[in-house]
Amino acid sequence: MLPNACRPSRRGWFVFVLPCLFALGCGGSDEPTRRSKEAKTDETKKPDEPKTPSDAKVRLLGALIPVGDGTNYFVKFVGPIEKIDANEKDFDAFLNSIRVPGEGGKPISWTVPAGWKEGPARQMRIITLQKGDGTPDLYLSDPFGGTPLMNVNRWIGEVGLKPVTEADLPGLSKEVTLGAAKAARVDFRGPGGKSGMGMGK
């Protein structure tokens, strides 16, 4: 048996152990708490991504029709999303009527959709179609050069989305057969952005 002078008192053990337990308890809970706060911060952080279709105000329907010498005809229909939505079938009817080379020896031919008429001549456009009820122009451009990526990114900029890369292109277009030719149809929606380059494309 230890002499009383060497034996620690019960009070002494309590005073020594209690701070240790307190320190262990706080240390054990501090890490999960910190991680929880970090996780919450990550969840509330909004990534810098393009607007989703539900946020869109502008829609662009377009098609690139290659003519074999590094140039393309362009079919383009862009404007307020509700106007483009209401006339999407007419865009597709016009696009699907196009033939390259065209009928009767013409380089390109088409059929005007019901309810539309040919508008005044415009620079760098082969034909401009108008409906007369506030619907934007639907038109076919002269052939222009430029890579598909360059042309697609120009259109993407018009609806307010971020540029894409070459690897993104296959997932952004749908192939449409136009007789002997094939077109790449695109459909972009966004909050609105810069207009075209003044070239009727």
Predicted confidence (pLDDT) per residue in 2-55, tens digit: 444 444 444 443 344 334 333 444 444 444 444 444 444 444 434 333 444 567
Which pLDDT value is given to residue 24? 40
Distance of alpha carbon 69 from alpha carbon 98, whole angstroms: 18
Q: Considering only 73-82, 114-123, 146-155, 191-200, which range has the smallest mean pLDDT?
A: 191-200
Which pLDDT value is given to residue 29? 47
Q: Hey, where are the domains in the chain?
A: 9-45, 53-190
Q: If you average pLDDT over residues 53-64, what whole number do you get?
A: 88
**Going by DSSP bridges, is the β-strand pair 125-130/173-178 parallel, antiparallel, or unpaired?**
unpaired
Which pLDDT value is given to residue 54? 63
* Mean pLDDT, the chain, integer: 79
